[in-house]
Amino acid sequence: MIRALKLAVAVALCLAVAMPARAQFDGKEGKDFGLWMTVGVEKKLSKKWSLGAEFEYRLKDNIEEGKGWGAPSRWNVAVGAEYKVLPTLKLDAGYKFMRDYSLPEWNEAQQEETEAYWGTKHRIYASATATFKAHNVKISLRERWQYTYRPEVPDVTYDWEKDRLEPVKGKGKNVVRSRLQVSYDKKKAWYEPYASVEAYISNDFKVRYTAGCEFKLNKHNSVDVFYRYIDIYEDDNYNNRDSHVVGVGYQFKF
């Protein structure tokens, strides 16, 4: 009961910070604000193998579209498997199905601007994570490769010469993600604060800075609350902007 009350207070404080922060950055050129929510489940098959699934739903300011706070921007479903090679090294791989909302963007091939649209994406990934612990400090380094494919989306770009709507061609993208994370992992503690830096490297470049805390309610249930700043240095979609994100996630393990 005490843990549940503490958790409720932590989530309330997180949201209390989120709303003023959103107001501060709303409408500023090059800035955005979002709320990410996840629900996940994990099944431990053995000492080395485990399976997992996750559903994520994202809201954001779609300032360009005039939709304001709370506009859906993406939802996705992911499944994956994890294998512990050593006590300090684990491998994982998975698949993610995504539906996301794209603002109008410039189509270089057709020299036209697309309409806003919802599109489907398919992503596969594989990663390796090395973890080291000294006293109550845990340090982990994760290297991940991911490939995302967006199939062709019909009737999105209006061709003025042909006087008809044209599709946005399908495309794929490879990304390498490098994440360094430090957390305070005290034995038998029901909370674990952490901070991380993650770089996305491809034909564009961005960095995620995250600070949060995982609350372990019991051996099966945990909740994660975090703040994230996404710093975009270069992106092939000019609608992607630097973003401030507040996230809340729930996970059930069995």
* Per-residue confidence (pLDDT) for residue 235, from 0 to 100: 63
* Per-residue confidence (pLDDT) for residue 64, from 0 to 100: 46
Q: Do 243 and 73 meet the contact criterion of CB atoms below 8 Å apart?
A: no
**Residue 181 buriedness (CB in 10 A; 0-12 / 13-18 / 19+):** middle
Residue-by-residue DSSP string for 87-156 = TTEEEEEEEEEEEEEE---EETTTTEEBPPEEEEEEEEEEEEEEEEEETTEEEEEEEEEEEEEE--EEEE
Virtual torsion, Cα 55, 209, 184, 12, nearest 10 deg: -60
Domain count, the chain: 1
Mean pLDDT of the chain: 84
Write the CATH number for 241: 2.40.160.40
Q: Give residue 193's domain range.
A: 2-253
Q: For the ranges 16-25, 46-55, 126-135, which has the lowest average pLDDT? A: 16-25
Virtual torsion, Cα 106, 111, 113, 114, nearest 10 deg: -90
pLDDT in tens, 184-235: 998 888 999 999 999 999 988 899 999 999 999 988 999 999 999 999 886 6
pLDDT in tens, 5-39: 655 655 665 555 555 555 455 444 456 788 999 99
Virtual torsion, Cα 204, 200, 70, 39, nearest 10 deg: 150
* Per-residue confidence (pLDDT) for residue 4, from 0 to 100: 60
For residue 32, what are the contacts with CB-CB under 8 A and spacing of at least 6?
Answer: 25, 60, 61, 63, 241, 242, 243, 244
* Per-residue confidence (pLDDT) for residue 33, from 0 to 100: 85
Q: How far apart are CA 153 and CA 135, in angstroms?
A: 52
Q: How far apart are CA 143 and CA 178, in angstroms?
A: 5
Rounded to an integer, the average pLDDT of 166-183 is: 92
SS3 annotation, 233-246: EECCCCCCCEEEEE
- Max CA-CA distance within the chain? 68
Q: How far apart are CA 232 and CA 167, in angstroms?
A: 27
pLDDT in tens, 61-95: 754 444 555 678 899 999 999 999 999 999 999 99
pTM score above 0.85: no
Predicted confidence band at 113 (pLDDT cuts at 50, 70, 90)? low
Q: For the ranges 45-54, 72-81, 99-108, which has the lowest average pLDDT? A: 99-108
* Per-residue confidence (pLDDT) for residue 28, from 0 to 100: 46
